[in-house]
């Protein structure tokens, strides 16, 4: 579903991702862990096309994301191509990023109506199902400022799912929340992870959550994968010294 082929990302002369290659299978739930600054968020931002690669190619669902074909040659992708592939990828951010001037229902139906061309009735029906799933059926006319951080994040998750993404990117989605609101959001994500075949890439500092939902954990260090494996192995028997140090610091 996702393939990074020798991806390099530089900001100026700072190499953030250093010749990075990996694949993620369809439906797989993969958690990215590692010290701050090791490149995890940059990977999500590249997949969301919020950044472009310096070198290498990113593939999603068999199609180049970062590039497009001209004849049989790959050239950097143009905006129209990016808009098209972006539709299959959803991202939930640390800071929720809800549209502040729209109520909950409008936040969720906006893109399905205007980007996917769904009818209003269809979009509203789907939004209501999703609101029930995230436990917010009674808040559809509320505006973001009237909701707690945890509720806003659950709306953001529903908004992401409303686009029926095949890939869902979660970037530190509980980091901005008060501690008592974290569990509600993680429990919604646990349900999604266990009940859908959406491919999930998760950047988190919640190690217990990472352990519960992941099929595979990738430990990053300085723009490279230090080690990757099933959660039991990474958390109980890490092979790499950097992983041991990192886990000691965060657990
Ligand atoms: P992580 O998510 O692992 O904390 P990031 O991917 O956010 O790491 O960042 C990796 C490195 O890239 C950091 O050193 C950060 O300062 C740098 N970086 C990220 N985005 C930019 C940018 N837009 N311009 C310059 N440097 C950036």
Residue 140 lies in a domain: yes
Q: Going from the first residue of the chain to its last (251 residues), give the mean pLDDT of each consecutive group of 10, the final group possibly shorter.
A: 96 95 96 95 94 93 88 88 86 94 98 96 98 96 96 96 96 92 93 94 93 95 95 95 93 81
What per-residue confidence (pLDDT) applies to 63?
A: 87
Domain presence at residue 232: yes
The two beta strands, 199-203 and 224-229, are: unpaired
Residue 28 phi, psi dihedral angles, 5° rounding: -75, 145
Q: Whose CA is nearest to atom 26 of ligand 1?
A: 11
Provide the 8-state DSSP code for 205.
S
Q: Which residues contact 42 (CB under 8 A, 6 or more apart)?
A: 9, 16, 17, 51
Length, in residues, of the chain: 251
Q: Is 49 in the pocket of ligand 1 (CB under 6 A)?
A: no
**Residue nearest atom 7 in ligand 1 by C-alpha distance:** 41
Q: Is residue 120 part of a domain?
A: yes
CATH of the domain at 150: 3.40.50.300
| Angstrom distance (rounded) from CA 183 to CA 212 | 13
For ligand 1, say whether the CB of 40 is within 6 Å of any of its atoms.
yes
Q: Is 204 in the pocket of ligand 1 (CB under 6 A)?
A: no
Sign of the alpha-carbon dihedral angle for 38, 44, 47, 48: negative
Domains: count for the chain: 1
Give a yes or no: residue 166 inside a domain.
yes
pLDDT at 20: 96
Residue whose CA is at the smallest distance from ligand 1 atom 21: 11
pLDDT for 192 equals: 94
- Distance (Å) from CA 39 to ligand 1 centroid: 6
Calculate how far, in angstroms, residue 37's C-alpha sits from the geometric centre of ligand 1.
6
Residue 62's pLDDT is 87
Which atom of ligand 1 lies at the shortest distance from residue 36's CA? 4
Residue 11 CB–ligand 1 contact under 6 Å: yes
Strand blocks (E) in the chain: 2-11, 14-24, 29-33, 55-60, 63-64, 67-70, 73-76, 89-92, 167-171, 199-203, 216-221, 224-229
Q: Is residue 45 part of a domain?
A: no
Distances (CA, A) of 229 to 58, 202, 236, 239: 21, 15, 11, 10
Residue-number span of the structural domain to which 223 is assigned: 25-38+88-250
Q: Whose CA is nearest to atom 11 of ligand 1?
A: 37
């Amino acid at each position: 579903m996702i393939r990074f082929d020798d991806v390099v990302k530089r900001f100026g002369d700072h190499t953030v991702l250093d010749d990075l290659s990996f694949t993620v299978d369809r439906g797989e739930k993969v958690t990215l862990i590692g010290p701050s600054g090791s490149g995890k968020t940059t990977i999500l931002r590249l997949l969301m096309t919020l950044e472009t690669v310096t070198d290498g190619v990113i593939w999603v669902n068999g199609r180049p994301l970062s590039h497009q074909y001209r004849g049989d040659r790959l050239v950097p992708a143009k905006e129209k191509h990016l808009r098209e592939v972006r539709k299959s990828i959803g991202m939930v951010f640390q800071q929720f990023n809800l549209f502040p001037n729209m109520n909950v229902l409008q936040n969720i139906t906006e893109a399905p109506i205007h980007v996917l061309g769904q009818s209003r009735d269809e979009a509203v029906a789907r939004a209501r199902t999703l609101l029930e799933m995230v436990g917010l059926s009674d808040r559809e006319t509320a505006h973001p400022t009237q909701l707690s951080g945890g509720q806003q994040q659950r709306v953001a998750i529903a908004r992401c799912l409303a686009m029926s993404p095949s890939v869902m990117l979660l970037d530190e989605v509980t980091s901005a929340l008060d501690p008592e609101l974290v569990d509600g959001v993680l429990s919604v994500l646990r349900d999604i992870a266990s009940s859908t075949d959406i491919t999930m890439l998760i950047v988190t500092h919640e190690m217990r959550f990472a352990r519960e939902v992941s099929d595979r954990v990738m430990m990053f260090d300085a723009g490279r994968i230090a080690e990757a494996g099933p959660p039991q192995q990474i958390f109980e028997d890490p092979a790499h010294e950097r992983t041991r140090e990192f886990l000691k610091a965060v657990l």
